[in-house]
Amino acid sequence: MIRSITQPKAEKEIDLLLSGSGRIFIIGCGTCVTLTRTGGEPEVRAMQEQLSGKGKLITGHLVVPVACDNLTTDALAEYGQQIDQADALLIMTCAFGVQTIAGQLKKMVVPALDTLFIGKETAVGEYNEICTQCGTCIIGETGGICPVTSCHKGLVNGPCGGTDSGKCEIDRRKDCAWTMIYNRLADLGRLDSMRRLQPPRNYLGEPTPGKMILTEQ
């Protein structure tokens, strides 16, 4: 399953964003951020304690089941009074959740997390970014591994000179995408696919911001 991968913002950044707001309502989410332990029930409670310790009044807290879902509106309605009393909402969800909530309530929203990437859980507690939704998929020629995402430089014609022992020059924990692609294509007897010179990429796949409207045929 794909997950929105987040990490907590630095405490002093949150303090700065909340300065001038004495009463805070905190919102977490029961899905991705619960899994990554960045905005589930325990983290929301810890944040409540942390902010209380700094003299903030916490008007209430809520962990919605799926913050990015439109049903979040109903969940928020139940807490109307506590939310109304707050000067700001501190939202411990990914940016999808923050924006969904911001669209429902006339309140300043403060994200407590940075959203890093849309990732796949590849092992317990390990998440990897494997697709950046570029709009011009080339994994049919790379053995099903995306170099646009998995290569730090997004190279489509093979490895750069920074690859070493199958790892990336920026982080020894990160695999070199092109070593993985090479190995897979070699296993499949399809290295011819890697030998093909790829033209410059088409960045016009879907100009930012992406938008799709389904129409009836």
Q: Which residues contact other proteins (rule: CB under 8 A)?
A: 152-166, 169-170, 178-179, 181-182, 186, 191, 194-195, 197-201, 203
The nearer residue to other proteins, 120 or 184, going by C-beta atoms, is 184
The nearer residue to other proteins, 105 or 155, going by C-beta atoms, is 155
Give the Cα separation of 43 and 28 in Å (integer).
8
Query: Mind giving me the DSSP string for 94-126?
Result: -HHHHHHHHTTSSSEEEE-EEEEEEEEEEETTE
The nearer residue to other proteins, 2 or 170, going by C-beta atoms, is 170
Provide the b/e sequence for 159-185 (b: ≥16 CB within 10 Å): beeebeeeebeeeeeebbbbbbbbeeb
Tell me the closest approach of the beta carbon of residue 152 to other proteins, in angstroms. Answer: 6
Tell me the closest approach of the beta carbon of residue 200 to other proteins, in angstroms. Answer: 5
Tell me the closest approach of the beta carbon of residue 156 to other proteins, in angstroms. Answer: 7
Give the Cα separation of 39 and 205 in Å (integer).
33
Tell me the closest approach of the beta carbon of residue 190 to other proteins, in angstroms. Answer: 12
Tell me the closest approach of the beta carbon of residue 186 to other proteins, in angstroms. Answer: 8
CB contact set of 165 (below 8 Å; sequence gap of 6+): none
Tell me the closest approach of the beta carbon of residue 197 to other proteins, in angstroms. Answer: 5
The nearer residue to other proteins, 51 or 148, going by C-beta atoms, is 148
| Phi-psi map region of 38: left, alpha, beta (phi>0 left; psi -120 to 50 alpha) | alpha
Q: Which residue has the tokens 């890697």?
A: 194
CB contact set of 14 (below 8 Å; sequence gap of 6+): 90, 110, 112
The nearer residue to other proteins, 42 or 162, going by C-beta atoms, is 162
Amino acid type, 127 = Y
The nearer residue to other proteins, 50 or 157, going by C-beta atoms, is 157
Q: Please report how many Cα atoms fall inside a 13 Å half-sphere around the Cα of residue 138, on the Cβ side.
A: 23
Q: Are 80 and 55 in contact (CB under 8 A)?
A: no
